Amino acid sequence: MKIACRHLLLIASFCFPLWAQAQLPVLANANHEALLASPDPQLAANKRLVYDFWREVFEGGHMELADKYLAESYMQHNPQVPTGRAAFVELFSKFVKPKAIEAKIKALLVAISADGNLVILSFVKEVKDPQDSSKKYTTTWFDMFRIENGKIAEHWDPALK
């Protein structure tokens, strides 16, 4: 048993430097129009719907536009946000005040993917290094939406409680 533990420690000591190396930084894509393009008109429309929702409602704080984008029965899988369009509006109205709507999403957007009725926005997320709080690193955050009858019907992201 002692020999097996020594072997594991030896292997780990050689492999650790590989784990400790920095990953490549996640980079934003400034060309949002290219990200929105698709040879399939329905996929392009789905991407545009989610993109405009993000700009106008989520970032712009215009909760009065939520019914333009969200189905009344909107389902939410983020454990911190309640389900339903009305509940979404009620919650975000407490934290976000309307401001000028930007021509582009302000968050650092990496990609927009669409497959059938699903659209995924991928963003750069900068976080503190847990081993050295004076340093930061980048990773990727994802928001996925399901479109139904021309409105956002469902949302997923990796948020935790």
pLDDT tens for the chain, residues 1 to 161 = 555 545 444 444 445 444 455 589 999 999 999 999 999 999 999 999 999 999 999 999 999 999 999 999 999 999 999 999 999 999 999 999 999 999 999 999 999 999 999 999 999 999 999 999 999 999 999 999 999 999 999 999 999 99
35: nearest Cα among 20, 50, 21: 50
Rounded distance between C-alpha atoms, residue 98 and residue 57, angstroms: 8
CATH, domain range 25-156: 3.10.450.50
Paired tokens of 88: 């979404």
Rounded to the nearest 10 degrees, how much is the dihedral formed by the CA atoms of 117, 71, 153, 30?
70
Rounded distance between C-alpha atoms, residue 157 and residue 141, angstroms: 8
Q: How far out from the chain centre does Cα 158 lie?
A: 8
How far from 152 is each of 14, 68, 100, CA to CA, in Å? Answer: 49, 9, 22
pTM assigned to the model:
0.84
pLDDT value for 5: 46
Question: So where are the chain's domains?
Answer: 25-156
How far from 66 is each of 23, 92, 147, CA to CA, in Å? Answer: 38, 11, 14
pLDDT value for 1: 52
pLDDT value for 154: 98
pLDDT value for 127: 92
pLDDT value for 21: 54
